[in-house]
Structure 1
Amino acid sequence: MARSNSTDKVENSASLPATPVASEMKYEAALAELEQIVLSMEGGQLPLEESIAAYRRGSELLKHCQQQLSDAERKIQVLENGALRDFDTASGATQ
């Protein structure tokens, strides 16, 4: 019977694809990964350590998505009388 040793584990983990850094992901990709994490956690089938890792990753992705949405709000412009004006998110009016 073959025995598994630590070098087998290192070789196997080296062949796994690297998880992209959240801050370098596009919004849509980060949101899709976040949705998958939520689904897997809601299923309740993850072991404790994997649940903790998934929660941490989900938190990173959520923060990144919120930041991207906030940045997008600042960039929104409204066409008013033929001129582009910045959109004031606080009042909902153009500046």
Structure 2
Amino acid sequence: MPKKTGAEATPASSTSLSPDLRYEDAVSELEGLIATMESGKLSLEDTLTAYKRGAELLKHCQHVLGQVEQQVKMVQG
């Protein structure tokens, strides 16, 4: 029984996020993780790994959006 396919969490993907990770790429990976987790095909351990990666991606996206919001406020000044 295969454990993982496609956008599922891998040990390499559970490391810290690169600060250069593009917002769009983070959202895309997050959507893939959600779909994989919802499929019910992951083991409990793999689900936990995917959840942790998703939490990292969400935090990254929120940070990027906060930075953009600050830049917009400065432009509107």
Normalised by the shorter chain, which TM-score bucket? 0.7 to 0.9
Tell me how far apart the structure 2 counterparts of residues 34 and 52 of structure 1 sit (CA, whole Å).
Answer: 14
Tell me how far apart the structure 2 counterparts of residues 21 and 44 of structure 1 sit (CA, whole Å).
Answer: 25
Match of 1:36 among 17, 32, 39: 32
1:22 aligned to 2:17?
yes
- Residue identity (%): 42
TM-score by length of 1: 0.60
Q: Which ranges of structure 1 fall in alignment gaps of 5 or more residues?
A: 1-15, 78-84, 88-94
TM-score by length of 2: 0.72
Tell me how far apart the structure 2 counterparts of residues 46 and 63 of structure 1 sit (CA, whole Å).
Answer: 23
Tell me how far apart the structure 1 counterparts of residues 28 and 54 of structure 2 sit (CA, whole Å).
Answer: 11
Instruction: Name the structure with the higher helix share.
Output: 2
Matching residue of 2:55 = 59
Structure showing greater relative contact order (alpha-carbon pairs closer than 8 Å, 6 or more residues apart) = 2
| 1:28-79 CA distance string (max 9 Å, x none) | 11111000000001111100000000000000000000110010011115xx
Cα RMSD over matched residues? 2.3
